[in-house]
Amino acid sequence: MPVPPVLLGEEFTPLWRHVRATLERRGLDNRGWVPLPDGTPTDVRARLREIAPGRSTSRLDLAALERGLARHGTDLLALLADAGCPPTGRREARDAERDRRRDRDEALTAAAREELGGEPWVVAWVDEVRSRIPDDEAARRTVRVVARVLALADAPGERSRGEVAAQAVRWAHDLDRGGAYRRPVGLALALRAGDGHWDDPELWAAAGLPGDLVATPVLTWALPLLGDGIPAAVRSMTAAGAPTPLTVLSLREVTVDLPSGTVVTSVENPRLLEAAVQQGLASPMICTSGNPTSAPSLLIRKLLAAGAQVRHHGDFDPDGVAITARVAALGVVPWRMSAADYTAALAAADLEGVELRPITGPVPETPWDPALRRVMTRAVDEERVMDGLLAEL
């Protein structure tokens, strides 16, 4: 049955608006007492008592009103809707949202602790990703994907990002830019490494997740690789006076074998390798081209495993010494990267009247020579000392 028309007159509108506001605060199921608005007409009060009998003339018993409306085959929410004052259920929505967030956060924290561990970076990762995860099911799924990707990235062997995504997420593009899991995985990589932006391709490549296996090869010169196939091709390129770029795809298939006592020089900037080629220097060299991504890192590991001594030189600036520290962690020896080498380079620049850019940010630790970090005030690019390095080679 419809709402009694007598309750839908304009004189009732202030009351129904007040009831709606009360239900928005207390919840749609609340049926307590509601004070009548000031100025409620006497005839309105009388009609209310006919439907919701009670002693009070200043308050409305919503439970009694509900019972009275039930006798007419309707209810309070239908009355408010017909009166043009439908409640939106904001309290219920707020409660549901609060419960959703609580369930999501609990599931995310528990799953991360179980699958990723309790390290500080995991706690920071949970705080970073929680706001973009809709519910508890998505939280558990996201943690599972991140754990699988990290495990595959850490496993022996070289895989492209697409290969890892196909195994961990079931779609090869889910880890590409714009992909569903690009951000949570990238944040895990950056926080775990303690360095880099989550969307930086170099971060992904350094973590063993290059965009593909043929991009960003490592540039090499005069590597005396032994054997047929790729090693023979490298030797032929050297004989032809040309450097050889080696991709991850090539490197993961090749067995690196070298003459005993081979020393390989790693440089940060391509200009040094270019100059070595132009001068016809026979000294084996590789170039990281800045922060070493998958290809140079893989080649360095293979060279070291083959018994080569790998030594590295880079820029005397915060990025350069950070790169040197990263390759040193692989077993590479910092070369001509001491405090004495740095101060000599400064003195040469001052003698030539060259203005060097100041170092404004913090300098990373230089464990191979702690004094280096303390004396670095101006940046010295590797090209500035190129002639001396090549002369020694």
DSSP per-residue string spanning 15-52: HHHHHHHHHHHH-TT---EEEPPTT--HHHHHHHHHHS
pLDDT band at 1 (very low <50, low <70, confident <90, very high): low
Residue 252's pLDDT is what? 82
Q: What tokens appear for 89 in the block? A: 């259920």
In terms of domains, do 157 and 64 share one? Answer: no
Residue 304 falls inside a structural domain: yes
158 and 256 in a single domain? The answer is: no
pLDDT value of position 191: 94
Q: pLDDT tier at 186 (50, 70, 90 boundaries)?
A: very high
Within a domain: 211: no
Q: Which residue has the higher pLDDT, 58 or 229?
A: 229
Is 19 part of a structural domain of the chain?
A: yes
Least confident of 72-76, 330-334, 365-369: 72-76
Question: What is the tens place of the pLDDT at every residue in 239-286?
Answer: 999 999 999 889 988 999 999 999 999 999 999 999 999 999 999 999
- Indicate if the pLDDT at residue 211 is higher than 70: yes
Within-domain flag for 316: yes
Q: Are residues 281 and 329 in the same domain?
A: yes
Closest CA to 209 of 165, 252, 148, 257: 165
CA distances from 3 to 61, 62, 78, 135, 391 (A): 18, 15, 7, 40, 99
- Tell me the pLDDT tens digit for each residue of 318-341: 999 999 999 999 999 999 999 999
Are residues 202 and 222 located together in one domain of the fold? no
Range from 30-34, 107-111, 344-348 carrying the lowest mean pLDDT: 30-34
Spatial contact of 379 and 357, defined as CB atoms under 8 Å apart: yes
How confident is the model over 218-234, as a mean pLDDT? 96
pLDDT for position 322: 94
Asked which of 88, 123, 158 is the last residue of a domain, the reply is 88
* Residues in the chain, overall count: 393
121 within a domain of the structure (yes/no): yes
Judgement on whether residues 29 and 155 belong to the same structural domain of the protein:
no
Among 206, 236, 261, the domain boundary falls at 206
Average pLDDT over residues 372-382: 96
Q: What is the mean pLDDT of residues 342-360?
A: 94
Q: pLDDT-based confidence at 121, cuts 50/70/90?
A: very high
Same domain, 196 and 107: yes
**Domain span at 344:** 218-392
54, 88, 122: which is the final residue of a domain?
88
Bigger pLDDT: 206 vs 223: 223
Q: What is the pTM of this model?
A: 0.61
| Span of 164-168, 230-234, 300-304 with lowest mean pLDDT | 164-168
- SS (HEC) of 188-246: HHHHHHCCCCCCCHHHHHHCCCCCCCCCCCEEEECCCCCCCCHHHHHHHHHHCCCCEEE
Q: Are 309 and 333 a contacting pair, CB within 8 Å?
A: yes
> Does 362 map to a domain?
yes
- Mean pLDDT, the chain, rounded, equals 91
Residue 219 in this model has a pLDDT that exceeds 80: yes
Q: What total of structural domains would you count in the chain?
A: 3
213 falls within a domain: no
- Which pLDDT does position 232 carry in this prediction? 96
Q: Are 383 and 271 in contact (CB under 8 A)?
A: yes
The pLDDT assigned to 205 comes to: 77
Q: Are residues 301 and 387 in the same domain?
A: yes
User: Is the pLDDT assigned to residue 150 strictly greater than 60?
Assistant: yes
Quick one: 327 and 222 in the same domain? yes
The more confident residue out of 33 and 195 is 33
**Do 274 and 325 share a structural domain?**
yes
